[in-house]
Chain A
Amino acid sequence: MTAPATGRSLGLALCERCRLVARMPPAAAGARATARCPRCGAVLELRRHRSLSHALAFLVAAYLAYLPANLLPILSMSTVLGSESDTIMRGVVVLIRSGSWPLGLIVFVASIVVPLLKLVTMTLLIVTVRRGSRRSPLQATRLYRLVELVGRWSMLDVYVVTLLVGLVQIQSLAIIEPGAGVFAFGAVVVFTMLSAMSFDPRLIWDPLEDGHGQGR
């Protein structure tokens, strides 16, 4: 069974900055050595350096931030009628109860489902790669693309809060202030994005090559 040629199998690396293809030094030169692009000097890597480790670190950070993001109030609103601070879930419940369930649904999906989905997906990807699973790498890649695609939308809540805080600043009548939850929530989103960025999707396919005798 002949595997298709890959950059790694040919010992070639693509400079991610200037797109120059360079030949990597032989592994014997030292695993710890850093290769650089001969044209622009950027670091050349066959696989992103410590991709999994980074992705995992950010993922853990995201998981840690996810808890307060959902438990702490995301928004505190003080009006003449009293002050109120709501968590995301509470906001969703209020929206759905008050009849605007489509809006509630959108918030629910964007603020709770999507971040969770991203976290779970990233976990899945990392675990898959870690275990060197060879099962359906194509689907794993698709998942990864989905995570990247969806990433930019998951800040919806933060946008809304920012918008509200900026708009509603009528002193003594109504003041909206961001709660601690917003920061946690922002952290979740940022960390998942970083995690996704750190993750090298090429790793998904490596086990297929490894099956042909090459260690990662």
Chain B
Amino acid sequence: MAKDDESPIPQAIVQPPHKVHLPLVWIVPIVVALTGIWLVVHNLVNEGPTVTLRFNSAEGIEPGKTKIRYKDVDIGEVKTVAVSKDRRQVILTARLVKAAEDYLVSDTRFWVVRPRIAAGSVTGLGTLLSGAYIGLDVGKSEETRRDFTGLEVPPIVTADLPGREFILHGAEIGSLDVGAPVSFRRIAVGQVIAYSLDRDGKAVTFKIFVNAPYDQYVTANTRFWHASGIDLSLDANGLKLETQSLAALIEGGLAFQTPPEQPPGPPAAADAAFTLFADRDLAMRSPDSERRSFVVYFKDSLRGLAPGAPVDFHGIVIGEVKGISAEYSATSGVFRFPVEIAIYPDRMRARRATGSTIPVDTDPGHRVLVNQLVASGLRAQLRIGNLLTGQLYVGLEFVPGAPKALIDWSHDPPVFPTTGGGLGEIQDSVASILRKVDGIPVAQLSAALGASLQSLQQTLDDTDRLVKRLDSDVAPQATATLSEARLTMRSAQQLLRSDAPAQADLREALHQLSRSAQALGSLADYLERHPESLLRGKAAGPVAAPEEGKQP
């Protein structure tokens, strides 16, 4: 070794060893491992919930690609698509992000967003390129849920839209559909969200949504009615045409309003139930809380009277015909046709002057009132509502001098007295006229008429003959006479002409006559002044002579 020390190869420098000797390099895998562990833990901790969604079809859905989006933000992804065991549905499993855990409550709704073209809107056009995705609307429930049945159509109203939902019960759906507009004073303020047939199949229940600023107008006494398209109705009241906005014409719609005569109540609570009326008039009627039924027996034919026909009191509809039937009385052997009518006293009360002392609320009070009215001559009458269609209605009218009648309160419902009148009267008089016409001995009359006609014919013939004779015999003579007369007239005319000699003579004669009269006058004058001249003769005096000369 000593020899080696002297070789040209230099000795390496020796440094004292490090005291601490950490295998620093092992930090690397440890860091990597820690990173890995952290990632795994992070993923596990942040792993969002897995949900199961059921749809009728998986059209456009691809596992691993189809996203779940809330307000267009990706919150998850469809992981698997499978067909359910009964092969009726497809089951999707989707993994959501951790933050979406709160979204999964029992009333959260999922649906597939695809391009859709409906009457009023086109939605989901973006999905034409990007492919379908699953949208969701987060519910308000507290209860968590992981298994959902997806909607086939997107919901119209999302849970975060301000406004309220209401429930309507209607007799029929009309032309409504989901999405049909709900209007308030013809402003579109909401939409029909859903409808369903009641379990008993007797009514339809609608769910509607009214947007936020307008939902305050839905109060406890608000009325809803069908405002679908064109309503053309022909009833005892005549022809009625009602149209709505164009959108409502196409899609149908609903409208609501609080009756104007009523004060608006407090805003209705969400999910409050209302009745859906067929039209505005029905809706605006006061609610018929109280109902009095009566039976009326008419002698007239009931053709044209239908259930639902109005019961009219002096032109005010206060009730309606509920039913018409026939009953046979075995004892008397006659048919009677009871018409059941319902009277809503509220309708009268609303219009009755306040301060009335007649209590109508209580049953005895009601009897007293009705008895009083009947005693005053109130009778039910069948009347023609519409001559064109022959619709009938029941009219209540005070008939002056009507035979006394009483209400049969023992019958249930009580029997209200009727009077013929109206149509019956017309029919009766027409019948009596016809009877009289029937009584006329038409055969005899016609024989006599024939004879008369014959003699008349003869007379006419005679007259004709007479006229002919007159024409042939009398007429020429008459003509001659006339020409002679004309000659006579002409000579008379000549005679009477002013320059005719006779005329001149006449004038001269008259002249002389007048002179004679003057002379006579002056004589009389003279005699008056000188009566003695009659005895003595004319005195020669110059006085009178000039006077006489001046007089004419």
Contact = CB atoms under 8 A, between A and B. Distances in A.
Contacts of B17: 30, 32-34
B25 A57 contact: yes
Interface in A6-56: 11-13, 20-26, 29-30, 32-38, 44, 50, 53-54
B499 to A, nearest CB: 131
A64 B31 CA distance: 10
Contacts of B11: 22-23, 25, 38
Interface in B103-138: 129-131
B14 to A, nearest CB: 5
Given A12-B9, A81-B131, A82-B65, A25 B29 contact: no
A210 B21 CA distance: 26
B29 A80 contact: no
Contacts of A32: 17-18, 21
A68 interface: yes
B28 A57 contact: yes
A64 B130 contact: no
Contacts of A58: 25, 28-29
B69 to A, nearest CB: 11
Contact of A38 (B13, B26, B29): B13
Contact of B29 (A34, A44, A60): A60
B4 interface: yes
A35 B130 CA distance: 67
Interface residues of A, number: 41
Contact of B12 (A38, A53, A198): A38
Contact of B65 (A12, A68, A84): A84
A37 B13 CA distance: 7
A67 interface: yes
Contact of A22 (B10, B18, B23): B10
Contacts of A36: 12-13, 15
Contacts of A20: 10
A24 B16 CA distance: 14
A144 interface: no
B67 interface: yes
Interface in B1-46: 1, 4, 7, 9-18, 21, 23, 25-26, 28-29, 31-33, 36, 39
Interface in A173-200: 180, 187, 191, 194, 198
A198 B4 CA distance: 31
A21 B131 CA distance: 70
A80 B7 CA distance: 77
Interface string A101-142: 000000000000000000000000000000000000000000
Interface string B419-445: 000000000000000000000000000
A82 B67 contact: yes
Contact of B23 (A53, A65, A82): A53
Interface majority SS (helix, strand, loop, mixed), chain B: mixed
Contacts of A84: 65
Contacts of B1: 26
A53 B21 CA distance: 13
Contacts of A50: 23, 25
A61 interface: yes
A22 B65 contact: no
Contacts of A53: 23, 25-26
Nearest to A20: B10
A137 to B, nearest CB: 25
Given A54-B25, A81-B131, A82-B130, A64 B15 contact: no
Contacts of B10: 20, 22-23, 38
* Residue from the set B14, B23, B36 with the largest chain A CB neighbour count within 10 Å: B14
A58 B74 CA distance: 38
Contacts of A30: 14, 17
A97 to B, nearest CB: 14
Contacts of B12: 13, 22-25, 35-38, 44
Contact of A81 (B7, B74, B130): B130
A79 to B, nearest CB: 9
A61 B9 contact: no
Nearest to B28: A61
* Residue from the set B1, B10, B29, B131 with the largest chain A CB neighbour count within 10 Å: B29
* Residue from the set A13, A37, A57, A58 with the largest chain B CB neighbour count within 10 Å: A57
A5 B18 CA distance: 31
A23 B11 CA distance: 5
A65 B15 contact: no
A152 B175 CA distance: 74
Nearest to A64: B32
A68 B36 contact: yes
Contacts of B36: 64-65, 67-68
A12 B12 CA distance: 9
A57 B4 contact: no
A34 B15 CA distance: 5
Contacts of A67: 36
Contacts of A80: 129-130
Nearest to A22: B12
A194 B38 CA distance: 24
A80 B74 CA distance: 14
Given A26-B1, A54-B25, A57-B23, 10 more contacts: A29-B14, A32-B17, A33-B17, A34-B17, A35-B13, A36-B12, A53-B26, A60-B32, A61-B31, A64-B32
9 contacts: A22-B10, A35-B14, A35-B15, A38-B12, A44-B12, A58-B29, A67-B36, A80-B130, A191-B32
Instruction: State the 9 A-B residue pairs at the shortest beta-carbon distance, nearest first.
Output: A32-B17, A61-B29, A35-B12, A60-B29, A61-B32, A64-B32, A34-B15, A57-B25, A54-B25
